[in-house]
């Protein structure tokens, strides 16, 4: 009794189609779809950026270790040259 029936929904839909026309409704639907697609892409890009940020400290540690090793090797080489 208090709910909206299928006939009431159909009448509202028919009035909306008459007011806006099918072309404008199609454009609105396309715009809404592209907005949702863009939003999902932005969320995916944000998650990918977060993963890259998480990987950066590991890469920095590896670079630092390799730099220390090369420094140690160059120090040893200089010591051998001086001796």
Look at residue 78 and tell me if it is in a domain.
no
| Confidence (pLDDT) at 76 | 63
The predicted pLDDT at position 50 comes to: 73
User: Is 61 within a domain?
Assistant: yes
Tokens 């932005």 belong to residue: 42
Domain count, the chain: 1
Tell whether 32 is covered by a domain: yes
Is 40 a member of any domain?
yes
Examine residue 76 and state whether it is found in any structural domain, yes or no.
Answer: no
- The pTM of the full predicted model, rounded to 2 decimals, is 0.43
Token reading at 24: 């404008």
Q: Which domain holds residue 39?
A: 16-69
pLDDT tens track for 24-76: 989 999 999 999 999 999 988 888 777 776 666 666 666 677 767 766 666 66
Question: Which burial class, exposed, middle or buried, applies to 77 when counting CB atoms under 10 A from its CB (0-12, 13-18, 19+)?
Answer: exposed
Q: Tokens representing 31?
A: 């715009």
10 within some domain:
no
58 is a domain residue: yes
């Amino acid at each position: 009794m208090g709910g909206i029936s299928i006939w009431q929904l159909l009448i509202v839909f028919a009035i909306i189609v008459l007011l806006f026309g099918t072309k404008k409704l199609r454009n609105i639907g396309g715009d809404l779809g592209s907005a949702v697609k863009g939003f999902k892409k932005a969320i995916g890009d944000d998650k990918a950026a977060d993963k890259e940020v998480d990987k950066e400290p590991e890469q920095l540690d590896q670079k630092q270790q390799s730099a220390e090793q090369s420094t140690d090797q160059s120090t040893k080489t200089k010591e051998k040259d001086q001796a």
